[in-house]
């Protein structure tokens, strides 16, 4: 191999907002056949907003207030949106005690003597021992249980990035066979967003360890994984090429990654593959 070609490939990549950590990674990029993406913050903007509050028995404003009281202690983007909605119109958020957050599941706490649990359908079903209501397919639900009884859900929508659909087409033109979405979100919303994005293979309701297993089992290889979140570090490390995206990307994710995309633009993942091809054409 000609070192000069690798040097110019890496500097071309850097000019495109793509930091490639080693020349071996450039070679791998040229061969990538499967690309897996995290959904929230990667395929979407990761700025969910509340679109509806559905309750069963309780006043919607009361359920929102209870949910916000525990969510104010979480850093999850869904939590921030629930708190913002509760504050809209000058509402104050009540105090909560005994907070426990279970990553990729939700949060539990005590508000004014009531036990409040918020999070995924599976997490809240375990709390109540019964099923949850299903929101419109395009929205993510944060389900709520109060004192062990199902109270309803807060529905949130997160917009697909403008460049996401075209990125899938570019990857296919660059020789990628399969695009995948790996998400902890519900099956309905995942399928809806997957179809909108033009993703080939959608995997929903995955815990962090399930995402790692999905990447390890993915075919054909090599597999590239693109993600932005704190919880994405293990899955980036499990991929043949791990790509951390975004100015807000956590340092844990960036450290586990082989490639860092320095701006919030998912199309740079396809650029990285194209630069890999170009470098390998001139490297031999
Ligand atoms: P993603 O795969 O989209 O990054 P996560 O793994 O972060 O999603 O979370 C998976 C699911 O767990 C969310 O869709 C949500 O239902 C639930 N969840 C996790 N944390 C919270 C939280 N703080 N508040 C509400 N729901 C949460
Ligand atoms: Mg995430």
Burial class (CB in 10 A: 0-12, 13-18, 19+), 178: middle
Q: Whose CA is nearest to atom 25 of ligand 1?
A: 119
Cα-Cα-Cα-Cα dihedral sign, residues 199, 205, 211, 216: negative
Q: Are residues 53 and 152 in the same domain?
A: yes
Expressed in angstroms and rounded, the spacing between residue 74 Cα and the centre of ligand 2 is: 14
Cβ-in-10-Å burial (0-12, 13-18, 19+) of 186 comes to buried
In the listed set 113, 132, 157, which residue is the last one of a domain according to the structure? 157
Give the CATH number, domain containing residue 232: 3.40.50.1000
**H helix or E strand, kind and range, residue 283:** helix 268-283
Which range is least confidently modeled, 108-122, 226-240, 244-258, 264-278?
244-258
Decide which of 127, 157, 187 is a domain's last residue.
Answer: 157
Residues 146 and 208 reside in one and the same domain: no
pLDDT tens figures, 71-114: 999 999 999 999 999 999 778 899 999 999 998 899 999 999 99
- Ligand 1: distance of its center to the CA of 120 in Å? 6
pLDDT, tens only, 126-148? 999 999 999 999 999 999 999 99
Q: Which domain holds residue 116?
A: 49-157
- Considering only CA atoms, which residue is closest to atom 8 of ligand 1? 184
- For residues 249 and 39, the model is more confident at 39
Nearest residue by C-alpha to atom 4 in ligand 1: 40
Selecting among 38, 158, 228, 240, the annotated active-site residue is 38
Closest Cα to atom 15 of ligand 1: 120
Neighbour tally for 32: CB within 10 Å: 25
As beta bridge partners, residue 20 has 259
Residue-wise pLDDT for 156-172, tens only, equals 999 999 999 999 999 99
Based on the residue annotation, tell me whether 38 is a catalytic residue of this protein: yes
Q: What is the mean pLDDT of the chain?
A: 93
pLDDT at 108: 98
Query: Do 108 and 29 reside in the same domain of the chain?
Result: no
- pLDDT digits 0-9 by tens, 199-233: 999 999 999 999 999 999 999 999 999 998 667 88
Ligand 2 centre and the CA of 283: distance in Å?
A: 36
Which ligand 1 atom is the nearest neighbour of the CA of 40?
Answer: 3
What would you report as the CA-atom Rg of the chain, rounded to the nearest whole angstrom?
21
Tell whether 180 and 277 lie within a shared domain: yes
Q: What is the CATH number of the domain that holds 91?
A: 3.40.1110.10
Number of domains in the chain: 2
| pLDDT at residue 283, as a whole number | 63
Q: Which of 157, 189, 213 is the last residue of a domain?
A: 157
Dist. CA 187 → ligand 2 center (Å): 15
């Amino acid at each position: 191999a000609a070192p000069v070609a690798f040097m110019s490939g890496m500097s071309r990549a850097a000019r495109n907002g793509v930091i490639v950590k080693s020349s071996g990674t450039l070679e791998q990029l040229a061969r990538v056949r499967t690309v897996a993406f995290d959904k929230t913050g990667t395929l979407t903007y990761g700025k969910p907003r509340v679109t509806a509050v559905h309750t069963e028995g309780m006043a919607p404003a009361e359920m929102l207030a209870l949910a916000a009281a525990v969510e104010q202690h979480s850093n999850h983007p869904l939590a921030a949106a629930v708190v913002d909605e509760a504050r809209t119109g000058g509402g104050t958020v009540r105090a909560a005690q005994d907070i426990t957050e279970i990553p990729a599941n939700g949060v539990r706490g005590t508000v004014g003597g009531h036990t409040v649990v918020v999070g995924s359908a599976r997490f809240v079903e375990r709390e109540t021992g019964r099923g949850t209501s299903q929101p419109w397919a395009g929205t993510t639900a944060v389900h709520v249980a109060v004192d062990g009884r199902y109270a309803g859900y807060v529905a949130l929508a997160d917009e697909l990035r403008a460049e996401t659909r075209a990125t899938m087409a570019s990857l296919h033109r660059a020789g990628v066979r399969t695009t995948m979405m790996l998400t902890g979100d519900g099956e309905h919303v995942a399928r809806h967003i997957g179809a909108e994005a033009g993703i080939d293979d959608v995997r929903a309701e995955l815990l962090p360890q399930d995402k790692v297993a999905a990447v390890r089992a993915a075919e054909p290889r090599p597999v590239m994984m693109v993600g932005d979140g704190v919880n994405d570090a293990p899955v980036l490390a499990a991929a043949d090429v791990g790509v951390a995206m975004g100015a807000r990307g956590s340092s844990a994710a960036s450290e586990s990654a082989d490639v860092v995309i320095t701006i919030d633009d998912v199309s740079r993942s396809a650029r990285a593959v194209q630069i890999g091809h170009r470098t390998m054409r001139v490297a031999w």
